[in-house]
Structure 1
Amino acid sequence: MNQEDFSVKIFKALGNPVRFKIMKFLCDGTKCVCKLNEEFKYSQANLSQHLRILKDAGLVKSEKVGLEMHYRIYNDKIKDIICNVEDYVNDIFINIK
């Protein structure tokens, strides 16, 4: 896979509403999968599939802590992307009004 293909993979992963919400939730810090499950009310299998896609795109990291799996955003550059997109959208909506 080349760099352009990997960039597209990142945007595809973020392009799903559920995954984008997961990423925004993780911007506040590391969360165990149980907290993600409480927040999003999806089946464990569905949530795991979304987390796998985010992990495969290099957007999140996971770490086993005791019996729990914890997820966090890979690095602050990812947070910057999310914040920049939200700022951009806010600017568009302000200009529409």
Structure 2
Amino acid sequence: MSRPVASADVFVAIADPTRRAILDRLCKGEQPVKKLAEPFKISLPAISQHLQILVEVGLVRSRKAGRQRFYRVDPEPLKAVRDWVSHYEGFWGEKLDALNDYLESDSCNKE
């Protein structure tokens, strides 16, 4: 059974907390899979599956050196996430400003 096409979506890839934690670890530098897997309470094959999804979406690159495979982060695909989120910055700024105005006016009325 093959993985659904959605697994090739960067949004789906970063939705998983384990994959986000793997990315955080890779931001510290290139690492082999065994070192990446150390803090997790899941099997090495499970870590490999998470890495495969991250590789499929381009967030992680791998290279082979001898018998080991090393992984490093490639943040380029995260630009799509940044661009999508940036559309909402104005919306949330307005909503938070309105909430602040309401709270300030409401607290003034109670005094």
TM class by smaller structure: 0.5 to 0.7
Aligned residue runs from structure 1 range 10-49, under 5 A: 10-49=10-49
Percent identity (aligned): 39
Structure number with bigger Rg: 2
The aligned residue for residue 60 of structure 2 is 60
Paired residues, number: 78
1:15–1:32 CA distance, 2 compared to 1 (3 A): same
1:11-68, Cα deviation, whole Å (9 max, x unpaired): 1101100000000010001011110121223211111110000000110001111111
Q: Are the equivalent residues in 1 in contact too, given 2:57–2:77 (CA < 8 A)? A: no
Q: In 2, Cα distance between the equivalents of 1:36 and 1:57?
A: 19
Aligned to 2:72: 72
Which structure is higher in RCO with an 8 Å CA cutoff and minimum separation 6?
1
The CA distance in 2 between the partners of 1:76 and 1:28, in whole Å, is 16
Stretches (4+) displaced over 3 A: 75-78
**Normalised TM-score (structure 1):** 0.67
Give unpaired runs (5+ residues) of structure 1.
86-97
Across the aligned residues of Structure 1 and Structure 2, the Cα RMSD in angstroms comes to: 2.7
Q: Which runs of 5+ in 2 are unaligned?
A: 86-111
Q: If the length of structure 2 is used for normalisation, what is the TM-score?
A: 0.59
Q: Distance in 2 between matches of 1:66 and 1:24?
A: 25
- Structure 1, residues 69-91: CA drift from partner, whole Å, max 9, x if none? 1000124675xx79xx9xxxxxx
